[in-house]
Amino acid sequence: MTPQGGMMMAAPGQSSGATIPLAVLIEYGLQRTYHDLVVLSELLPRKTDMDRKIDIFQFASRTRQLFVRLLALVKWANSASKVDKCMDICNFLEQQSMHFVETADSLFKMAKETLASARLPSFSLPCAIDVLTTGTYPRLPTCIRERIIPPDPITPQEKQQTLQRLNEVIQYRLVSNELPKQMRRIKIDQGRVKFYVEHEFEVTLTLMGDNPTIPWRLLDVNFLVEDNETGNGKSLVHSMQVHYIHELAQSRLLHVDHPLHDLYKFLHSFCQSLQLEVLHSQAQRLMSDRLRDSIRIEEYSLSKSLSISYWRDQLKKDKHQDVYTIHKLSVHVCEEDEGKPLQISHQPPMSPLESRKVGLAIKSDHLSIEKLLMQTIEVRTHSKLKELAREIQKMVDGKCDVCDMPVALHVSVLSPCMSAEVLRISIDVQTGSYMASVPCCDRSAVQGIEECLNGEHRGLEKLLMKLKVHLVLLRCEKCVQLMVASCRPSLPLINVSEHALAKLASTRLYVKVPKQYGIYVVVEVREGEMRKVEVNYYMLETTMCTADGAEDEIGEDNLVKAFMKAGQLTPIDTYSMVHGEFCKIFDGIPLTMDSLTRKRKIYLGECEEEPDPKRVKGSPYFVNELAYLLARCEEKLPFVFLGEELSKHGVSHDGGMLDGTGTSFSMSILYFPEILGLPEDVNDGLRKQLLQCRFRVHSRQPRLWVVEFVFNKSPVPSIHIKEKGPSQRICLSLDMNGDNVQKTVTDLLDEWTSIAYLYGCVMRFADSYNDARTGLSTMIEIQSYNYRKLTMAYGPNMCSLVSVAWRPTSKRFGLTLGTRLPSASANPHIPMLLQLTEEFNLHGSLAQLSQTLHDTWTPMMSVSKLPSAAILGASMHPRQHVQNFAVLPQSSSHVRIVCRNSHCLDVHFRGNKTVAVRDGAYSLFDTSKPIEGLYPTQGLKAFLSMFVDEGVTMGMGRQSTSADDNPPSPQPSELFMSSGQATGSPLSRQPGSQQGRQDGFRFHNPMTPPSNPHTPASPGSARLPAGVNPSPSTALMGTPSPGTLLTANSPSNPQLHVPSPGSFVAASPQSSLMSLHMQSPAASFMGPGMVDGGSPFPGSSLAMPSPGGARGGWVGSPSVQAPSPHTQQSPGHPALHSPQTHKDGDHKMAVVNPPSRILPQRAWAASIPTILSHKGFNTLLTPTPEPQQGAVQHPPASPLERFFACIIMRKHMVRVVNSESTITSVLSSEPGVTCFKVESMQFKITLNSTTSQSLHMKITPTPEYQDKWTAEELQILEKFFDLKAFCPPYKLNALTSIVRIVSAPYLIVKDCIQIMKLELMPDRSMKWTVQWCLTIPPPLHCISQVGGPAFVVKSKMIFMLQLTRIGLNVGSGEQSIVVPLLYEMQANKLVKVDLTRQTQANTPSMQANTPSLQAVGTMLNRFAEHYQQQNHSNECAILPAIKELLTNLVLPV
């Protein structure tokens, strides 16, 4: 023992005792304790509570004793060193004492025994002499040589001769003696003879001499009996047993006359005994492992026989009988001939043929009792099944064959019979009982047959007939599975006991008719006469209900309806159905009752003889009768339900029938009811046009009704190829809902209504279109008219399309606009689609619609050229989107064009290819009240006059000379101090004139054009007080102000202080469309109230409302996207939109705006319409390149856009001038001119008097700085303003930056002008070009909002430049950089703006860390240090620093 890590301890009294370290001993104790604990945890859960307590206590006690001993041992080990020393001393003394005793004993024995007879021989002198002289020892004794050195071996030749001689002796002995016939397989070699008996033994003999009396010598014996199943080929005889048998056989060879015969009998008997033992052990193993009680060892006699009984369960069933059979297999030794192998016998005896199949004797090559039993059972099974087949063949019509492996009896119950329908009867190997199965059926279908076969076979025929019925029903079920249908053996019916279903056979199948609700086909299969099967079909109607039979409690949202109530049960005559017209099920067979019955039985597998190939088509699982019946019901029932619903709505039909080709069912509509609201001639004409209407079913998914209309030739010619024949075919697709036929009929009647309404319009239009005098055929082209929709082409190239169709849902016509090739743009009438639709629903005249579209196509195409996209930077708020132009249609001949939410044009389309344009900011009836949110446009009349053709203005009279084209701005006057003083109207307004006007116009507009010389003057102008000019609407205006669409008493009209005379709520829509002045080709077919030579457009003085004014129920026109900078809503007044429909409660939401702005009382020129031709109007709105662009390329803009840009930017210039403290406004007597001055210059902003499409800046130095400015510098600044400030997209903040630049100190402005020169005229000797950033670019969004003014002058100045590399491509990201610069005026130092401040999200700007900007900042800092050292205190450092950058800046790669 090694205590405490190294001390070794031995047992007392033994110095060499075994020791063990103390640590190992403790580890052993711990491992043992852990092992006991693990075993205890596994065993305790299976024990009782008391046993668990006992085991736990024993474990604790045992463990405690172990560790107490270890503790004692550890305490003792502390003092073990002293004990070890004492023990070592004692052991050493004992060893010394033992050595003394052994020495004394050895000396005594040597003296008494060894030395007593010890004598020394005389000295051998000859040997010594030989060794000393010759060095050898030749006198060694011979005995020593003979004992140590072996004799020489015989040679191989002698050995071969000896063995050959011995082989001859053995051959002679074998020839001279008789050998057993089983031992005649011999081999003589090397003086030995080997006898081989297959699968028994192998023995080797030899002879010890050539004397005939010398007995055989047994050299070796080997037993060849093996047990391959359990022994794995190992030897079954032990070596000791082999040795004993070897000695016994050798002894018998010495004393018998025929030694070889005796040797064979001896060894053969032993091998047979060994074989029986092997079979016995295998049988025992089978009984214990697999077969158990199925076999039994009846008798085992050692070395004689083995008897085994099988099919023991069959024996138990037969014990109650007086005579029962025991099946037994016996293996025994043949007593007659001991040389034969083991014999096999059976009980009861087998026939010789069956015995030969099993085998008459055991085969020793593979001993297997299991194989022998299986062969015996197989032969027995064949015998029993053949006997059963002969019995069943009398009960069925099909074949009964015994085949397959394992052996089974196949009974064809049906004919023809599929492999899955064959009744298979086999015998259980272990029990010997019959087992029955049908692959396509479950266990319950054949369980009765199996019990009957294992019994007395009573009632077997009835059971086979029941199985036959079940298989026929299963065929029907599989046939349904092949189709799109579902079936079930039963339904949750609550009234089966009281219904006719109770009288049907229990073997029935419920097949749901596809796509039908609550309709089932009941298939009844029952036994017939002469072992035949009858199949009957019924139609069952069901309804969903609750458990107590209530039907009204089932709601629509109830997804699960658990019960049904059976309705009418109708037998189906299958004979008449499957033998009708176009039915080809029984083609080729004579139509006799016998043949039909036989055919039916063949399909159901009931015919005895083999069917003819013609009679078997496809799989027997496909029952043609049932398939055809389901298909017929699926196709016919929808027509039945549809016919009932059509009859309820008064639609006559033929009930449905097969087509002439027999391809499908169809139903013809014979008569449609009249459409209410249409004239009788329209209904009659449409019925005459209709040649045929037929319903068909589209069978593919989704399932649809296909309705085919055949009409006579269309009343209007169409260019569509399918509409040029004598008849026209139209096909509709309607949803087929099995449970909602009402919707189908409703959709059909809606389609018929749509056809009728459209036909009414086309019928009235046909006469005018076909009349060449109207000229409509030259204006439009009928693209298609399919009675559901009319599509017409119009325009110069007939490239614009309009489609008219009746909308059943809204009960009104709907228009659809489109284009076709070669059109390259959208339909220009799309903005006024709502107005066109509303007007067409009012008058319903296709002729008027055609005339309107034809005459307005050109001006609307011009209007569509205006840019309508929302842009950024068009206002002072950088983040605010402002729509450039917004087109607000008011009617089909009246649109409003709003520019940037501030200015408006009122455009009326007139006849004779003219349009009337006026300033839409003026009120129509009171020019002193502009519309809120809109501003009058100065100089508009003069600008529009530039586009007037002389031929258009001839005969229109001279305009008023007192009209002023420069009205004061409605904004505060202090913003326009340079525009001249705002004078009032030269006509003083009488105090009672306003009241007089209110009293005179409190009635609806009589809508009489006073300017027409053929009609009397309007009474409105006669009632006006003296000194007040009449409203422009009563003189030359064609449309009222948008505000007049709201009456004076409406709470939504707070801006109008005077009741508007233009409220057309009660005006007749026809009157607003019939007062015409323009020569029109459609005058001959207009209404009787039209003026000769009229047009569908309002006259020059007709105040025409929007179409919704008379109906009061249509949506408004689209509003402007961006809010107005003043009112934060769509441009100006809500009246700019089309008339809105308000409810009673909507008036409370009206916004109360500030009081109306009052303009001086005078007739402003822009409020009087300017008549333009279509060509001039197109020129006004078509984008063209800027007249003077110079080297700078700008996007094209229309003259109107440039004009409005001049007005807007001039107003913004005034606003900026008044907001800057360093700028002084200068009054100017010229209208429309803005003047201001700064420290060193005076500026004059004027409008181009020639084109009115551009602003120009005229600069003159102040007297103090007359000599400090050169003409070149002033020209550069003026040119820069023209090319960079006033250019598309006309950004206001760019103009702000220009004003701030010129308001800077003199030296700074001078350097800025030089930078402008570098931009306008780049110096190619420099590496970089420079461009001013007048607005903040996106890369510098961290400084301020993108799009804001990029020039700030306070105590310091911030501006931004864009540098672009010349002649060298340095990469896509570094070819151009934007540099923010900060100029410190006090220090005269230019540096880069520090961009390290963080954004609102507390993330540093991405632009701040770019290497390019770092290089720019480093270069500017270095240049500032160098520049200050040179003492340029009187010069500005901006230009030198910029030139340094442009010349020497190198960006890091």
Successive 10-residue mean pLDDT values, the chain, 1453 residues = 40 52 90 91 86 92 93 84 85 93 91 81 85 86 81 88 92 89 90 91 91 90 84 78 92 88 90 90 87 86 89 66 73 79 86 80 78 88 89 87 84 85 88 89 87 86 89 88 86 89 89 86 87 88 84 52 84 77 53 40 44 54 82 83 88 81 80 88 91 85 86 90 86 80 90 94 92 89 93 92 94 94 89 94 93 94 89 75 90 93 91 91 78 85 88 56 56 38 35 38 37 38 38 37 36 36 35 36 38 38 37 39 39 41 39 46 72 92 74 80 89 87 85 87 88 88 90 90 84 88 90 91 89 88 84 89 81 76 89 68 52 88 86 82 90 79
Output the CA angle 589-592-598, nearest 5 degrees: 70
Residue type, 785: Y
Using an 8 Å Cβ cutoff, are 826 and 864 in contact?
yes
The CA distance from 159 to 144, in Å, is 29
Task: Note whether 1233 and 978 are within 8 A (CB).
Answer: yes
> Who's near 717: CB < 8 A, 6+ residues apart?
770, 782
Are 1247 and 1232 spatial neighbours (Cβ–Cβ below 8 Å)?
Answer: yes
CA gap 537, 626 in Å, rounded: 8
CA angle 796, 800, 802 (to 5 degrees): 130
Distance CA 817, CA 793 (A): 10
Q: Which two tokens stand for residue 1214?
A: 């005034």
- Is the Cβ–Cβ distance between 711 and 689 less than 8 Å? yes
Structure-token pair, residue 1073 = 């469309």
pLDDT in the model for residue 231? 62
In this structure, are strands 812-819 and 800-807 parallel, antiparallel, or unpaired? antiparallel
Query: Is the CB of residue 1232 less than 8 Å from the CB of residue 1238?
Result: no
> For the residues of 608-666, what is the DSSP string, one character each?
SSPPPTTT--S-TTS-HHHHHHHHHHHHHHHHHHHHHHHHHTT-EE---EE-TTSS-EE
Instruction: List residues bridging with 1359 in a β-sheet.
Output: 1351, 1381
Q: Give SS3 for 555.
A: coil
Q: Angle 672-678-684 (CA atoms, 0-180°, nearest 5)? A: 50
Residue 822: asked if its preceding bond is cis (omega within 30°), the reply is yes
C-beta contacts of 1297-1302 below 8 A and 24+ residues apart: 1297/1332, 1297/1334, 1297/1335, 1297/1349, 1297/1350, 1297/1351, 1298/1334, 1299/1213, 1299/1216, 1299/1217, 1299/1220, 1299/1223, 1300/1220, 1300/1349, 1300/1351, 1300/1352, 1300/1353, 1301/1351, 1301/1359, 1302/1238, 1302/1241, 1302/1243, 1302/1277
Could you tell me which residues come within 8 angstroms of residue 218 by beta carbon, excluding any fewer than 6 positions away? 203, 204, 205, 246, 249, 250, 253
Q: Residue 559: what pLDDT?
A: 47
Task: Check: CB of residue 1119 under 8 Å from CB of residue 869.
Answer: no
3-class state of residue 1016 by DSSP: coil
The torsion angle over the Cα atoms of residues 1414, 1416, 1422 and 1424, rounded to 10 degrees, is -120
Q: How far apart are alpha carbons 6 and 60 in whole angstroms?
A: 31
Query: What confidence score (pLDDT) does residue 840 get?
Result: 95
- Cα–Cα distance measured from residue 609 to residue 602, given in angstroms and rounded to the nearest whole number: 9
Crossing angle (nearest 10°) for helices 239-253 and 259-289: 150
Q: How far is CA 136 from CA 128, 129, 139, 1289, in A?
A: 10, 10, 9, 137
Task: Answer yes or no: are the C-beta atoms of 1084 and 770 closer than 8 Å.
Answer: no
Distances (CA, A) of 179 to 167, 207, 255, 775: 17, 16, 17, 137
Q: Are 732 and 694 in contact (CB under 8 A)?
A: no
| Angle (CA) 703 705 710, round 5° | 145
Return the bridge partners of 792, or none.
Answer: 782, 802
pLDDT at 1188: 55
Torsion of CA 677, 681, 687, 689, to 10 degrees: -120
> Is there a contact between 1006 and 1021 (Cβ–Cβ < 8 Å)?
no
CB 719 within 8 A of CB 781: yes
| Residue 229: predicted pLDDT | 75
Element (H, E) at 35: helix 22-43
Name residue, tokens 């102040």. 1262
Are the C-beta atoms of residues 389 and 381 closer than 8 Å to each other? Answer: no
Q: Which residues contact 1011 (CB under 8 A, 6 or more apart)?
A: 1035, 1036, 1100, 1101
Return the CA Rg of the chain: 63
Tokens 């006309």, residue located: 1290
892 forms beta bridges with none
Q: How many residues are present in the chain?
A: 1453
Confidence at residue 6, expressed as pLDDT on a 0 to 100 scale? 39
The 10 Å Cβ neighbour count of residue 327 is 19
Contact, 732 vs 744, CB < 8 A?
A: no
Rounded CA-CA distance 738/515 in Å is 6
Residue 1409's CB: how many other CB atoms inside 10 A? 11
| φ, ψ of residue 270 in degrees (nearest 5) | -65, -40
d(CA 654, CA 417): 46
- The count of C-alpha atoms lying within 13 angstroms of the C-alpha of 125, restricted to the half-sphere facing its C-beta, is 0
pTM score > 0.85 for this model?
no
- The span from the CA of 613 to the CA of 59, in Å, is 87
Distance, in Å, from the CA atom of 344 to the CA atom of 756, rounded to the nearest integer, reads 102
d(CA 265, CA 273): 12
Predicted pLDDT at 85: 86
Say which residues have a Cβ less than 8 Å from residue 1114's Cβ, sequence separation at least 6.
834, 838, 1107, 1108, 1138, 1139, 1141
Per the CB < 8 A criterion, the answer to whether 338 and 268 are in contact is yes
Which strands form 1241-1247's sheet, in the order they lie side by side? 1224-1226, 1234-1237, 1241-1247, 1255-1261
What pLDDT was estimated at residue 1258?
92
Cα–Cα distance measured from residue 741 to residue 644, given in angstroms and rounded to the nearest whole number = 9
Residue 592 near residue 600 (C-beta atoms within 8 A): no
User: How far is residue 782 from each of residues 160, 367, 1151, measured CA to CA in Å?
Assistant: 127, 102, 48
pLDDT attached to residue 528: 80
SS3 1169: coil
The confidence score (pLDDT) of residue 1148 equals 37
